[in-house]
Homo-oligomer: A and B are copies of this chain.
Amino acid sequence: MNEFDFIDSLRQRANSRKHSARVLTGIGDDASIIAQSADRDLIVTTDLLVEGVDFHRGATPARLLGHKALAVSLSDIAAMGARPFWSFLSIGMPRAEWTTNFKDDFFEGYFALADRFGVTLSGGDVSETKQGIVIDSIVLGEVKSGAAVKRSDARPGDQIYVTGNLGGAAAGLKLIENGARVKQESGVRSQESERGSSPTVREGVITETLAQASGLTDEPQSRSDEDSIQSLLLCQLQPSPRVGWGIVLGEEALATAMIDISDGLSSDLNHLCRESNAGALIDSSSIPLDDDVKRLCGRRALDALALALHGGEDFELLFTVAPENVSRLPKRVDGVAISHIGEITDAARTIRIRERDRIWDLQAQGFSHFKD
């Protein structure tokens, strides 16, 4: 199958699932044609994912990679308070990969997530690489004209909220780096097992990994630890974009500013405050820690907090709400709760954190590809 045949097969799959009548021409021409709507603004995001940097192939089943490639862009659309509609995907892979089932598994995960949110794959590109897989994920969405939620409109006195729980994705990454792998039984086809090796690490390695990841060496090993490990791996490999929350916060004009937590809470809160020319005071005890992170980190609660503050890729939404709108916030959207973690201050670019009776400056320690 050459790339034209493959693109044709994608076109058929995309067309059979076409949710949007406004895609006048999708895959298969020089470009795609989408009917515009005068009373709505277009929202566009792109995310580049590179093997060995943004994901580790041996630890990432192709189906989950397809899921994550779309999820990270859906999260950006949600962070604008927008509703996603159309996606584009550019993918490059080595020649040898072309004949494996990688691309089929990848698109299985991709389409499953696209279908869940009514997103239409509307175009993209395919190329060869000399080494490694590279993916550029593009999603287009819409908001009512003028209703997009930017990073720059937080005002002193606005209350700071975050969806879901934090730290799970960073813990999952640490586990992966220490050799843990998703289990085949979790409904995921593992590449490792397809290559003939064990789909999960041996129990002893898991214990060691846990100990390394959490600084915990004296906790009893149990079946629930294994479950926690699997759950944390999926936090990293199969993040849930908060599409529903994004739509509610945008359509109901509830959020004054919003960002998704991709680089880490400390770093992303810093971005938001910088763009808003404001500061923030957050309360460490109110930061929602992932249950599995808490359990595995055990008594060393500080490690869990550090993962929640500085770990990236949770893809939760961090947003600010004017005091008069706090009472209008729903408790849950799609089963996901929010936590009130602090308040915007007028101390420009200064992020402080209260821990018991101490207040200290919170340094942004999030992820950056290229350091100063």
Contacts and interface: CB of A to CB of B under 8 A. Distances in A.
Nearest to A368: B2
A366 to B, nearest CB: 10
A40 interface: yes
Interface residues of A, number: 81
Interface stretch (A131-139, A161-169, A181-189): A131-139
Contact of A128 (B90, B140, B370): B370
A116 interface: no
Interface in A1-57: 1-6, 24-25, 28-54
Of A32, A37, A131, which is in contact with the most chain B CB atoms at under 10 Å from its CB? Answer: A32
Interface stretch (A117-125, A295-303, A343-351): A117-125
A297 to B, nearest CB: 29
Contacts of A258: 30
Given A43-B33, A82-B31, A151-B29, A48 B91 contact: yes
B79 A148 contact: no
Contacts of A152: 29
A15 to B, nearest CB: 14
A35 B145 CA distance: 7
A123 B44 contact: yes
A140 B44 contact: yes
B131 A125 contact: no
A50 B3 contact: no
Contacts of A75: 30
A37 B36 contact: yes
Interface in A66-98: 75-77, 79-80, 82, 86, 88, 90-92, 95, 98
A132 B127 CA distance: 14
Given A31-B80, A42-B42, A49-B127, 20 more contacts: A3-B370, A4-B368, A25-B148, A28-B151, A29-B151, A30-B258, A31-B82, A34-B43, A36-B36, A38-B39, A44-B123, A46-B88, A48-B136, A50-B128, A50-B129, A51-B130, A52-B130, A95-B369, A126-B369, A126-B370
Interface pairs A-B: 4 shortest CB-CB: A38-B38, A136-B136, A31-B45, A30-B79
13 contacts: A3-B370, A31-B141, A33-B80, A36-B142, A37-B38, A44-B122, A48-B92, A50-B127, A50-B128, A53-B130, A95-B369, A126-B369, A131-B131
Interface of A: 1-6, 24-25, 28-54, 75-77, 79-80, 82, 86, 88, 90-92, 95, 98, 122-132, 134, 136, 138, 140-143, 145, 148, 150-152, 258-260, 271, 275, 368-372
